A and B are shown apart, each in its own frame.
Chain A
Amino acid sequence: MEHIRMPKVENVRLLDRLSSRRAVVGTLYLTATHVIFVENGSETRKETWVLHSQISSIEKQATTATGCPLLIRCKNFQVIHLVIPQERDCHDVYISLIRLARPVKYEELYCFSFNPKLDKEEREQGWKLVDLNEEYNRMGVPNNYWQISDVNRDYGVCDSYPTEVYVPKSATAHIIVGSSKFRSRRRFPALSYYCKGNNASICRSSQPLSGFSARCLEDEQMLQAIRKANPGSDFIYVVDTRPKLNAMANRAAGKGYENEDNYSNIKFQFIGIENIHVMRNSLQKMLEVCELKSPSMSDFLWGLENSGWLKHIKAIMDAGIFIAKAVAEEGVSVLVHCSDGWDRTAQVCSVASLLLDPYYRTMKGFMVLIEKDWVSFGHKFNHRYGNLDGDPKEISPVIDQFIECVWQLMEQFPCAFEFNERFLIHIQHHIYSCQFGNFLCNSQKERRELKIKERTYSLWAHLWKNRADYLNPLYRPDHSQTQGTLHPQIAPCNFLYKFWSGMYNRFEKGLHPRQSVTDYLMAVKEETQQLEEELEVLQERLANLQRSQSGNNKVKSKQQDRSKQFGLYTSNNSLANTPQEYSNDLKSFPSRSPSQGDEDSALILTQDNLKSSDPDLSANSDQESGVEDLSCRSPSGGGCLPSEDSGKDSDEAVFLAG
Chain B
Amino acid sequence: MEFAELIKTPRADNVVLHRPFHLAVEGTLCLTGHHLIFSSRRRDNAEELWLLHSNIDSIEKRFVGSLGTIVIKCKDLRIIQLDIPGMEECLNIASSIEALSTLDSVTLMYPFFYRPMFEVQEDGWSSFLLEQEFEHLSSVTNEWRLSCVNKEFSVCPSYPPVVIVPKSIDDEALRKVALFRYGGRFPVLSYYHKKNGMAMMRSSQPLTGTNGRRCKEDEKLINATLRSGRRGFVIDTRPLTVAQQARAKGGGFEQEVHYPQWRRIHKYIERFHILQESFIKLVEACNDQSHNMDRWLSKLEASNWLTHIKELLTAACLAAQCIDREGASVLVHGSEGTDSTLQVTSLAQIILDPKCRTIRGFEALVVREWLQAGHPFQQRCAQSAYSNSKQKWEAPVFLLFLECVWQIHRQFPCSFEFNEHFLILLFEHAYASQFGTFLGNNESERAKLKLPQKTMSLWSWVNRPEELSRFQNPLYEANSLVIWPSVAPQSLQLWEGVFLRWNRPSRFLEEAEEERINIIKYNKELQAKVNALRRQLAEMEADGVVQ
A binding-site residues for B, Cβ under 8 Å: 290, 294-302, 304-305, 308, 310-311, 314, 412-416, 473-474, 476, 479-481, 489, 491-499, 501, 505, 508, 510-515, 517, 520-521, 524-525, 527-528, 531-532, 534-535, 538-539, 541-542, 545-546, 550-552, 554, 557, 559, 562-563, 570, 577-580, 582-583, 585-586, 589-592, 594, 596-597, 599-602, 604-605, 635-636, 639-641, 654-658
Whether A298 and B286, one on each chain, are in contact in the complex, defined by CB atoms closer than 8 angstroms, is: no
A579 to B351 CA separation, bound complex (whole angstroms): 10
- The reply to whether B288 and A492 form a contact with Cβ atoms under 8 Å apart is yes
Contact B412 A310 (CB under 8 A): no
> Is B108 an interface residue when CB atoms closer than 8 A count as contact?
no
Q: Is the CB of B520 within 8 A of A298?
A: no
CB-defined contacts of A590 to chain B, threshold 8 Å: 231
Within 8 A of A (CB), among B394-436: 410-415
- For the complex, is B289 an interface residue (Cβ under 8 Å from A)? yes
Q: Does B545 contact A (CB under 8 A)?
A: yes
A-B contact pairs, 26 of them (CB 8 A): A296-B307, A297-B301, A297-B304, A305-B297, A308-B294, A474-B512, A489-B504, A494-B293, A499-B490, A512-B411, A512-B486, A515-B411, A527-B523, A528-B519, A531-B527, A535-B526, A545-B540, A577-B481, A579-B321, A579-B484, A586-B318, A591-B326, A597-B325, A600-B324, A639-B321, A639-B325
Q: How many Å lie between the Cα of A356 and that of B306 in the bound state? A: 36
In the bound assembly, the distance between CA atoms of A476 and B208 in angstroms comes to: 66
Contact between A586 and B326, CB atoms less than 8 A apart? yes
Contact with A along B243-271 (1 / 0, CB 8 A): 00000000000000000000111110000
The list of the 7 closest CB pairs from A to B, nearest first, reads A551-B544, A658-B240, A300-B489, A414-B512, A305-B297, A301-B301, A494-B296
Cα A290 to Cα B491 with chains together (Å): 12
Q: CB-CB < 8 A to A513: which residues of B?
A: 410-413
Interface string of B263-294 (1 = CB under 8 A from A): 11111000000000000000000101111111
Q: For A414, what are the chain B residues with a Cβ–Cβ distance below 8 Å? A: 508-509, 511-512, 515
Query: Complex formed: what's the CA distance from A557 to B241 in Å?
Result: 73
Given A492-B289, A494-B292, A528-B526 in contact, is the A582-B326 Cβ separation under 8 Å? no
**Chain B residues proximal to chain A, CB less than 8 Å:** 231, 239-241, 263-267, 286, 288-298, 300-301, 304, 306-307, 309-310, 314-315, 317-318, 320-322, 324-327, 410-415, 475, 477, 479, 481-484, 486-494, 496, 500, 504-505, 508-509, 511-512, 515-516, 519-520, 522-523, 526-527, 529-530, 533-534, 536-538, 540-541, 543-545, 547
Q: Which of A308, A542, A583, A655 contacts B533 (CB 8 A)?
A: A542
CB of B530 within 8 A of CB of A514, answer no
Q: Are A657 and B240 in contact (CB under 8 A)?
A: yes
Q: A466 to chain B: closest CB distance in Å?
A: 22
Contacts of B289 in A (CB 8 A): 491-492
Q: What is the chain B residue whose CB lies nearest that of A292?
A: B489
Contact of B515 among A476, A539, A578, A596 (CB under 8 A): A476
| B150: min CB distance to chain A, Å | 33
A528:B412 contact, CB within 8 angstroms: no
Query: Cβ of B293: which chain A residues have Cβ within 8 Å of it?
Result: 310-311, 314, 494, 497
Q: How far is it, in angstroms, between the C-alpha of A414 and the C-alpha of B516 when the chains are bound?
A: 11
Find out whether the CB atom of A655 lies under 8 angstroms from the CB atom of B490.
no
A416 to B321, CA, bound (A): 41
* A109-B295 Cα distance, complex, nearest whole Å: 44
Q: Are A602 and B415 in contact (CB under 8 A)?
A: yes
Interface pair A589/B512, CB less than 8 Å apart: no
Q: Please indicate the chain A residues that have their CB under 8 angstroms from the CB of B536 in the complex.
A: 542
**Distance A162 CA – B301 CA, assembled complex (angstroms):** 47
Q: How far is the CA of A639 from the CA of B264 in the complex (A)?
A: 19
B45 to chain A, nearest CB (A): 19
Does the CB pair A305–B327 fall under 8 Å?
no
In the bound complex, residues from chain B placing their C-beta under 8 Å from that of A499 are: 490
Instruction: State how many angstroms separate the Cβ of A424 from the closest Cβ of chain B.
Output: 18
Shortest CB-to-CB span from A324 to chain B, Å, is 16
Indicate which residue in B294, B322, B484, B527 contacts A311 across the interface (CB closer than 8 Å): B294
A585 touches B265 (CB 8 A): yes
**With a CB–CB cut-off of 8 A, which chain B residues contact A531?**
523, 526-527, 529-530
**Known A-B contacts A298-B301, A538-B534; A550 and B412 likewise in contact (beta carbons under 8 Å):** no
Partner of B318, one of A308, A474, A582: A582
Please determine whether B508 and A481 come into contact, CB atoms closer than 8 angstroms: yes
Bound CA–CA A535/B540 (angstroms): 17
Residue from the list B297, B314, B415 in contact with A582, Cβ < 8 A? B314
CB contact under 8 A between A579 and B410, given known A311-B293, A476-B515, A570-B479: no
Decide: A505 near B297, CB < 8 A? Known: A517-B413, A557-B538, A589-B326: no
Indicate if the CB atoms of B263 and A656 lie closer than 8 Å.
yes
* Residue from B298, B410, B412, B489 whose CB has the most chain A CB atoms within 10 Å: B489
Closest residue on chain A to residue B480 by CB atoms: A602
A304 with B297: CB separation less than 8 A: yes
Shortest beta-carbon distance from B337 to chain A in Å: 20
Tell me, in angstroms, the Cα distance from A200 to B410 when the chains sit together.
Answer: 42
Give Cα distance in the complex from A542 to B526, angstroms: 16
If A310-B297, A474-B519 are given as contacts, then 13 extra A-B residue pairs at C-beta distance below 8 Å, sorted by A number, are A474-B515, A499-B490, A510-B486, A577-B482, A577-B484, A582-B315, A592-B325, A602-B479, A602-B481, A602-B482, A639-B325, A655-B265, A658-B266
* Cβ distance B236 to chain A, nearest Cβ, rounded Å: 9
Contacts of B544 in A (CB 8 A): 545, 550-552, 554
Q: A414-B512, A551-B545, A656-B263 are in contact. Are A297 and B526 (CB under 8 A)?
A: no
- Given known contacts A473-B519, A583-B267, is B301 in contact with A305 (CB within 8 Å)? yes
Rounded to whole angstroms, the CA-CA distance of A521 and B477 in the bound complex is 12
Give the docked Cα–Cα distance between A501 and B306 (Å).
Answer: 16
Do B411 and A514 touch (CB < 8 A)?
yes
| Complex contacts, A542 vs chain B, CB 8 Å | 533, 536-537, 540
Pairwise interchain contact B486-A580, C-beta atoms closer than 8 A? yes
Instruction: Give the chain B neighbours of A515 by CB distance below 8 A.
Output: 411-415
Complex interface: chain B residues within 8 A of A605 (CB): 414
Q: Tell me, in angstroms, the Cα distance from A402 to B503 when the chains sit together.
A: 26
A225 to chain B, nearest CB (A): 36
Evaluate contact between B489 and A494: CB separation under 8 angstroms. Answer: no
Q: In angstroms, how far is the closest chain A Cβ from the Cβ of B56?
A: 24
Closest Cβ–Cβ distance, residue B21 to chain A (whole Å)? 9
Of A570, A577, A582, the contact of B477 (CB 8 Å cutoff): A570
Closest A residue by C-beta to B490: A501
Shortest Cβ distance from B290 into A: residue: A492
Residues of chain B with a CB closer than 8 A to A510's CB: 486, 488
- Residues in A with CB closer than 8 Å to B300 are 301, 495
**Shortest CB–CB separation between residue B522 and chain A, in angstroms?**
6
Which residues on the A side are within 8 Å of B491 (C-beta)?
501, 511-512
Q: Which residues of B contact A491 (CB under 8 A)?
A: 289, 291
Evaluate contact between A520 and B523: CB separation under 8 angstroms.
no
Give Cα distance in the complex from A190 to B316, angstroms.
60
Q: Which residues of A contact B411 (CB under 8 A)?
A: 512-515
Report whether A538 and B297 are in contact in the complex, using a CB–CB cutoff of 8 Å: no
Q: Looking across the interface, which residue of chain B has its beta carbon closest to that of A563?
A: B527
Question: Can you name the residue of chain B whose Cβ is closest to the Cβ of A487?
Answer: B505
A655 and B479 alpha carbons, distance in the complex (Å):
34
Q: How far is the CB of B267 from chain A (nearest CB, A)?
A: 7
Write the nearest CB–CB distance from A588 to chain B, whole angstroms: 10
Query: What's the nearest-Cβ distance from chain A to residue B532, in Å?
Result: 9
- Are A582 and B231 CB-contacts (below 8 A) given A310-B297, A657-B265? no
CB distance from B413 to the nearest CB of A (A): 5
Q: Are B537's CB and A541's CB within 8 A?
A: yes
A525 touches B519 (CB 8 A): yes
B241 nearest in chain A by CB position: A658
Q: Which residue of chain A lies nearest to B195 when distances are taken between CB atoms in the complex? A: A599
